[in-house]
Structure 1
Amino acid sequence: MTPPGAARAAPSGAGHPPAGHGLLWLLLGIAVLFALLRPRPPRELIALVDWQTVGALAGLLLITQGVEASGMLQRLAQRLLVRVTDERVLAFGLAGGAALLAALVTNDVSLFLLVPLTRVLATQAHLPLARLVALQALAVNAGSALTPIGNPQNLYLWHRSGESFAGFVAMMAPTVAVMLFWLAVAVWLLVPRQPIALREPQDHGAVQPRLLAVSALLFVGFVVALDRHWLLPGLIGVAAVFALVRPRVLLGIDWALLAIIALMFVDLRQLAALPWVAEMLRAAPIGEGWRAYLAAILASQVISNVPAAILLDGAVRDLPALAAGVSVGGFGFVLGSLANLIALRLARVPHGLAEFHRISLPFLLVCTASALPLRLG
């Protein structure tokens, strides 16, 4: 892990491109390679994309842009910096809030609420933005692992396990306790206990309560639409309302993030469908215990933890080990969890990917080793 004295983040939007374009080109290159080696009709490739996920992210990105344009985050950041004057205390608050929200409202929604606030905080004070966002990505991966509704892989495995809600929480609690312990250690080591240095005051404009209220109502409506599987009407409704109320919001959507997510589905599902992959899984002794746990962690690093949970479900008989493995597997490489990508793109910080890996890779190793005894015997 990098020392606490690293350089502070520049104000957001200071002419730097968002982190992650290198990953976009990498995924596009892999897609082209698959197209050359294993050609498929365009219709089949389009069907590989989970459009429910991509559409949900698009709607949430629009709503987040609306909240930011309302000026509420700037006002909230000002008030928070008046009350919290210590960097480490602020980091603990942001990471702890991210973990708690992730357990209650899913890891992605937690990031959409807190990462934009963190970015605005870094425009008003000299803060290590990339480091704070990396810690929040770790926090949502850890916190969301506790409950069946915290992330997609938990929801899938919960239905497969037949456990009650409380039973699933009890099953995951020891692993989550290990992850949260090391999260607290990481915050303590990486964020110094020193006064927050404020930047020169900036005129952020007046808060627009009407736009904030519209964004809040759209958020509730969009979540209801997703719950009822009305993705397309919900997405059209969100876009139409902003087109009438604040058209510039539509220009702020991160198309590169949506392209990265779509290409992840195309590339990783083709990889998982390769015959030699299925044969390797059938032959590997990963049915239970620590072998299943480590297999889930390794698979998550290559194909992300949600596809890993689905892919290994047939080969692994030990669901608690599989659930623990894909949870810990969300750390490490950025592809380990979709939440990692979302956090970095929302942060819009240069060199965010490098900073994330400097923190997340050692964190993966520590958590893997610390939670391994829970899978022995």
Structure 2
Amino acid sequence: MKQSVLIQENKRLKLKFGFLKKDIVFTVSLILAVTSCLIYPPKLEYINFQVLFILFSLMLTIKAFEELRFLDKFAIAIINKCNNSRSVSAILILLCFFSSMFVTNDVALLTFVPLTLVVCKKTQMPMMETIIFQTIAANIGSSLTPMGNPQNLFIYSHYGIKPVPFFSSVLFMAALGISSLYFLIKRMKNRELKVVLTPVPLNDWKKPVIWGLVLAIIIASIFGVVSYQVAFVVTLITVIILHVKLLIKVDYLLLLTFICFFIFIGNISSSSTLQAFANTSMKDTTSVYFSSIFLSQFISNVPASILLAEFTTDWKPLLLGVNIGGLGTIVASLASVISYKLFIQANPTESKKYLIKFSIYNFSFLAFLTLIQYFILKIF
């Protein structure tokens, strides 16, 4: 009887705290925030509410598009017209690159990697390379816009960057990345192939149009055309009217992760020792650039950007560093973890092979883009 009670209690604890194991980045951020609060008193001013409100608005809107399967419909319509394996792979990779600019790299991969796995199952065509290239494409493509990934949104807001300087800073890197991917796509094996996927019905076009307008308002708030408070209110009202259940489908752990990192970094930045160390190790463009790339490999690029932003006013090498730093290790960008999990769920015996190939391609891109962009930074 006593043993049965203990087992039940253990199950309850697992259910209650299971999410901590599931989202390791949030768990780490929570531990860091709580620990730092024991040393330094937290302040409300540490939290960047503009980033949180814009991110929440984006998450709601993108979740709405996910529910409507708008991207799926568009992708399936294109893939059904392809007649060879290389064109199918090219479309799936390019869709990740371009869609990630607007719906974030995470959502691009959550949408198109499952579609790639369906194509793989229907055609018996190996798609491991395609999924790895999709991951690289999403990470590079998302770097091109402020709303493409969370670190860009944070840096854009934190430093108050204007659109022209932002785009001019990341354009060359993104162009170089997609050009390299195009070269690799051209080298992929090719065979005749006709894919027939069931079209996704979209009977009501009003909702996609409405959500498109909401997304346009959110983007306008990112660029300072309208206030982020207005964009948030418009998004919230639209959610309540059209699909109130979206409010329980948002990834709140991501928002809490940001809050925890804001508190942790705000607290530790009060340390005179850390400030002295940061001022010594991040004294120029080169050190900021390489520090952001290096740190991203271990703690991922989102927390790296929040941490390093406290110790430098030089936003350009930081922006480039954390975006290039999303390549490399599997944890450098959390989007990479998403595609890996989706792949091994469908192919559990190919985990090791995937990680080896993933590492070879990602570290090659990391080294290539790091060196080229470094010379560009030094010249300009």
Task: Give the alignment's TM-score, normalised by structure 1.
Answer: 0.66
Q: 1:349 to 1:234 in 2, by over 3 A?
A: farther
Partner of 2:324: 328
Partner of 2:203: 209
Q: Decide whether the 8 Å contact of 2:54 with 2:232 is kept in 1.
A: no
Partner of 1:12: none
Counterpart Cα distance in 2 of 1:304 and 1:239 = 34
Q: 1:331 to 1:21 in 2, by over 3 A?
A: farther
**2:374 partner amino acid:** L
Partner of 2:291: 295
Deviation at 1:294, TM superposition (A): 0.8
| Number of equivalences | 337
Tell me the secondary structure at the aligned position of residue 189 of structure 2: coil
Q: 1:162 to 1:367 in 2, by over 3 A?
A: closer
**1:217 partner amino acid:** I
Q: Which has the higher helix share?
A: 2
Counterpart Cα distance in 2 of 1:306 and 1:48 = 14
Task: Give the alignment's TM-score, normalised by structure 2.
Answer: 0.65
Deviation at 1:302, TM superposition (A): 4.5
Q: Decide whether the 8 Å contact of 2:56 with 2:255 is kept in 1.
A: no
Q: Decide whether the 8 Å contact of 2:102 with 2:145 is kept in 1.
A: no
Q: 1:149 to 1:52 in 2, by over 3 A?
A: closer
Q: Please list, as runs of the form range in 1=range in 2, the aligned pairs for 1:233-248 lying within 5 A after superposition.
A: 234-242=235-243
Question: Is 1:218 aligned with 2:211?
Answer: yes
Deviation at 1:134, TM superposition (A): 4.1
Partner of 1:262: 255
Q: Decide whether the 8 Å contact of 1:218 with 1:238 is kept in 2.
A: no
Which of residues 185, 193, 199 is equivalent to 2:190?
193
Q: Please list, as runs of the form range in 1=range in 2, the aligned pairs for 1:1-377 lying within 5 A after superposition.
A: 24-25=23-24, 27-28=26-27, 31-32=30-31, 34-35=33-34, 38-39=37-38, 51-52=52-53, 54-68=55-69, 73=72, 77=76, 79-102=77-100, 105-106=101-102, 108=104, 112=107, 115-124=110-119, 125-126=122-123, 131-146=129-144, 156=155, 160=159, 165=164, 168-187=166-185, 191-196=188-193, 207-210=201-204, 212-224=205-217, 227=221, 228-229=227-228, 230-232=231-233, 234-242=235-243, 253=249, 257-259=251-253, 261-273=254-266, 274=268, 275=271, 277-288=274-285, 290-305=286-301, 308-309=304-305, 311-313=307-309, 315-316=311-312, 319-333=315-329, 336-337=332-333, 340=336, 355=354, 358=359, 359-376=361-378
Counterpart Cα distance in 2 of 1:236 and 1:73 = 26
Q: Decide whether the 8 Å contact of 1:87 with 1:193 is kept in 2.
A: yes
Q: Decide whether the 8 Å contact of 2:82 with 2:194 is kept in 1.
A: no
Counterpart Cα distance in 1 of 2:259 and 2:61 = 22
Bigger drift between 170-179 and 154-163 goes to 154-163
The CA RMSD over aligned residues, in Å, is 4.7
Which structure would you say has the larger Rg? Answer: 2
Deviation at 1:209, TM superposition (A): 0.8
Q: Decide whether the 8 Å contact of 1:86 with 1:194 is kept in 2.
A: yes
Q: 1:118 to 1:41 in 2, by over 3 A?
A: same
Tell me the secondary structure at the aligned position of residue 79 of structure 2: helix
Q: Decide whether the 8 Å contact of 1:301 with 1:335 is kept in 2.
A: yes
Q: Deviation string for 1:313-345 (max 9, x for gaps)?
A: 565465543333222122234554465567678
Q: 1:192 to 1:44 in 2, by over 3 A?
A: farther
Q: Decide whether the 8 Å contact of 1:92 with 1:187 is kept in 2.
A: yes
Counterpart Cα distance in 1 of 2:312 and 2:36 = 30
Q: 1:360 to 1:44 in 2, by over 3 A?
A: farther
**1:88 partner amino acid:** R
Q: Deviation string for 1:143-166 (max 9, x for gaps)?
A: 34446675565574599597772x
Q: Which runs of 5+ in 1 are unaligned?
A: 1-19
Deviation at 1:268, TM superposition (A): 3.5
**2:321 partner amino acid:** G
Q: Decide whether the 8 Å contact of 2:30 with 2:257 is kept in 1.
A: no
Q: 1:136 to 1:160 in 2, by over 3 A?
A: same
**1:51 partner amino acid:** L
Q: 1:366 to 1:21 in 2, by over 3 A?
A: farther
Compare relative contact order (CA 8 Å, sep 6+) and give the higher one, 1 or 2.
Answer: 1
Q: Give the percent of matched residue pairs that are identical in Structure 1 and Structure 2.
A: 18
Q: Decide whether the 8 Å contact of 2:57 with 2:235 is kept in 1.
A: no
